[in-house]
Amino acid sequence: MADMSHKPVSVLRRAAEAMLAISMFGMVCAVFLNVVMRYMFNTGLAGYEELSRLLFVWLVCIGAVLATVDHQHLRFDLVVDRLPAPAQRLCRWLSRGLIGWALYHLILGAWAQILVGIDSRSPVLGYPLGLAAAAIFFMAACMAVLLLREAWQDLRCRHSGACGAVTTHSVK
């Protein structure tokens, strides 16, 4: 039964990784084709810069969500690791609070930019400029859900006592 609960997460992860690969491939092809056309034919394809920029924003945001899932964001824990367990828990909760506060403001700001950019169009391709802000909104919302999930697991483990110490894994 445990495998069934991990299957949707695995499918979402594979979909996100596929989107990263497609975005990277699209960016490389667009830039390469544009460079070749400029040097060989003294012309370029209109809109490829816009497409590359939009794909790059989505690539970074989806990659940031995957890094959050894997606890791969960098953190500096030289001091926190030397504190006693109760102080480490306090620092962990303070950190979650600050991250939540930052994500809240990021979500509000991205939403405001979506509303402003939904009626504005890119100059060449004509896509709504709110699509770039939508990537940031998506990233912040996913990170907020992951933060809440981590906090819930920490609370559940602390009250049941069966989970042991819940720690945030990170690259040091």
Residue 71, C-beta contacts closer than 8 angstroms, at least 6 positions apart: 168, 169, 170
For 95-110, how does the pLDDT look when each residue is reduced to its tens digit (9 = 90+)? 999 999 999 999 999 9
| DSSP-assigned letter for residue 45 | -
Mean model confidence pLDDT for the chain: 85
In single-letter form, the type of residue at position 28 comes to V
- Residue 139 clears pLDDT 90, i.e. is over it: yes
- Cα–Cα nearest to 68, from 3, 136, 145, 2: 145
Question: At 2, is the pLDDT very low, low, confident or very high (cuts 50, 70, 90)?
Answer: very low
In the prediction, which pLDDT does 147 show? 93
- Residue 155 clears pLDDT 90, i.e. is over it: no
In the prediction, which pLDDT does 162 show? 57
In the prediction, which pLDDT does 81 show? 85
Q: What is the mean pLDDT of residues 137-143?
A: 95
In the prediction, which pLDDT does 64 show? 92
In the prediction, which pLDDT does 165 show? 46
Total-model pTM = 0.79
String of b and e for 39-71 (b: at least 16 CB within 10 Å)? eeeeeeeebbbbbbebbbbbbebbbbbeebbee
Q: What is the mean pLDDT of residues 135-141?
A: 95
Q: What is the mean pLDDT of residues 29-42?
A: 88
Q: Are 171 and 72 in contact (CB under 8 A)?
A: yes
